[in-house]
Amino acid sequence: MFEKILIANRGEIAVRIIKTARRMGIATVAVHSDADAASLAVSMADEAVRIGPAAATLSYLDAEAVIAAAKATGAQAVHPGYGFLSERAAFAERLAAEGIVFIGPNPRAIEAMGDKIESKRFAAAAKVSTVPGSLDVISGTAHAVKVAEVIGYPVMMKASAGGGGKGMRIAWTRAEVEEGFTAAQAEARGAFGDDRVFIEKFVSEPRHIEIQVLGDRHGHVVHLNERECSIQRRHQKVIEEAPSPFVTPAMRAAMGAQAVALAKAVDYDSAGTVEFIVDADRRFYFLEMNTRLQVEHPVTELTTGLDLVEQMIRVAAGEPLSFGQEDVRLDGWAVESRIYAEDPYRGFLPSIGRLSRYAPPPEGTYDGVVVRNDTGVGEGDDISVHYDPMIAKLCTWAETRDAALDGMARALDGFRIEGPANNILFLSAVVDEARFRSGKISTAYIAETWPDGFHGLEPTAFQADAMTAAALAMQRLQGLRNGNGKAFRSDWVVSVGTIKRPLQVRVDGAALEIAIPGERRTLRLDGIDWRPGGALFRGVLDGKAFGASVAPAAEGFQIRMRAATARVLALSPRSSELHERLPPRKPKDRSNRLVSPMPGVIVALHVVPGQAVKAGETVAVIEAMKMQNMVRAERDGTAATVDVAVGDSVAADQVLATLA
């Protein structure tokens, strides 16, 4: 067994590998860019080596810098994690030439399966069912249009060296091919240093289901069941689970056998994943093979009891697998929610900034639910524009799917993040949503469920009551702290969003009795757990326990319960009457200002001062966190000013140009 390994990665996966290495008694070396010098992974590793500036192309993608760090520290092996150099056969070969072990598959398997075009050719030759499409590299936009029209719309343009949704575009029309092909190429070049793109048929109503495989260097390969990865946006997974609610035992066996056969055909000798697109009739098609550890590997670990990082290390050290296919178990249900620094209210655009508060729910087992949180950040860390926006992977396990999802809902409720925007509210909405709960999902689930974008959910009747009661309790506790709450008034008007109700309140010891005259009912709030300034309010309303995230707002509170957020005002009748007289604010007309929807770097400008612009026309392209986003004009006009240049870094809402 190795005595020291180097981790050629960053963030949560670097931390994840360090934890397993520690348990195995293996020393670790972390490499880092300037942006990650104070990261959690660096603080946890036994040694750390700087390998370059913040840009990934000058640090984590610099193979020679990583190899130099391994040699300088005496690391016997390198674990690449996922992304960056993890699927570079040339990197594995260079390590071998230096006498350093690559903790991953052999270079031949990486070459055969890691390249999306070559893997499809290989799979077709091996008579594995594949999605119809072109196996040729697309030479340019005209070629892309020609191939797309032969295959038939819709089509998917994909980076050959890609993964994680980078360099991927769906096109439903010729115009979308012409516009999307260039963007897919640019994303592929920026993320992988390889701008080759191919095109295949886009399967409508598809599910994305993948099989985890594990092989050793003695000819043994097993599969570790499937993962359901259909909840995606921008082709990037958001929620994963194991097993899939759609897969039958017979289908699992068939998909697993095909995945194992494909892996054996390339002498696969590490952890890898065979991805399939599955249609409504349970026909499955080979999509690609990821020759590395997957982001979503924790749900497989939770349902099989295996540590995949440990298995990769043991295989790389030459050990045979200690179990066979018949020993692989499928125990209970696991769910993973990817917590991203992104704004779900602005089309999930990336967000950056300092984590002024980062308080995940405690890990452990609670009422039969296991809570696990894989993360690479801590409070006070910065979310950088240079890397993927994932903050953490929150996982829950339970005996059944419903219990695992209920546990996830509670865990999300207990996750506190302040600073950059995040998607916790959106994840809560998905976990509670009826269609998702039924398991009748596809990769189009998010777009179909929220076709006009996600704008949060309105409070349910119980949530409105709970928010009302919480606001009154907090008003009383703040008053007691300030020395003026002993004579708590009895008449109140409470607004929860647009719901406004006059109330009569009576203090009963530590509880509140809240009468709603217009509805002829009374609420009782007890079990109050909150201190002024606290971010979490807990209580029991009419015998039902609840929790809510709370924050002060003008004359009231901002309260969140699951996916519902509301501004709650608790006012005296006179103050409420005066509020009614306030004139409504008129939104400013900003249609003449073209602003950046997110922080990033200007990679293209398509307008100059004096140029005519049509509504919907692309004005600029902004790159952030490895993704390119197009800024379009909202109306016709003429560019009066262009306030940025290619290469400029811009902030969210920064003016790029103005229209006359």
**CB of 341 closer than 8 Å to CB of 420:** yes
**CB of 509 closer than 8 Å to CB of 516:** no
Q: Which residues contact 250 (CB under 8 A, 6 or more apart)?
A: none
Nearest CA to 533 out of 467, 473, 474 is that of 474
Distance CA 337, CA 423 (A): 10
Question: Which residue matches tokens 């976990």?
Answer: 431
Nearest CA to 536 out of 553, 561, 564 is that of 561
Distance CA 643, CA 594 (A): 10
Nearest CA to 1 out of 67, 68, 77 is that of 77
Burial class for 574, CB neighbours closer than 10 Å (0-12, 13-18, 19+): exposed
Q: Which residues contact 291 (CB under 8 A, 6 or more apart)?
A: 86, 87, 104, 105, 109, 110, 113, 114, 268, 270, 272
- The CA-atom distances, in angstroms, between 134 and each of 68, 148, 158, 622 are 40, 9, 11, 30
**CB of 353 closer than 8 Å to CB of 389:** no
Distance CA 226, CA 213 (A): 9
Q: What count of other Cβ atoms lies within 10 Å of the Cβ of residue 279?
A: 14
**CB of 159 closer than 8 Å to CB of 184:** yes
Which of 12, 228, 240, 288 is catalytic? The answer is: 288
For residue 623, indicate whether it is catalytic: no
φ, ψ for residue 150 (rounded to 5)? Answer: -75, -45
φ, ψ for residue 308 (rounded to 5)? Answer: -70, -35
Which two tokens mark 383?
């979310």
Active site residues: 288
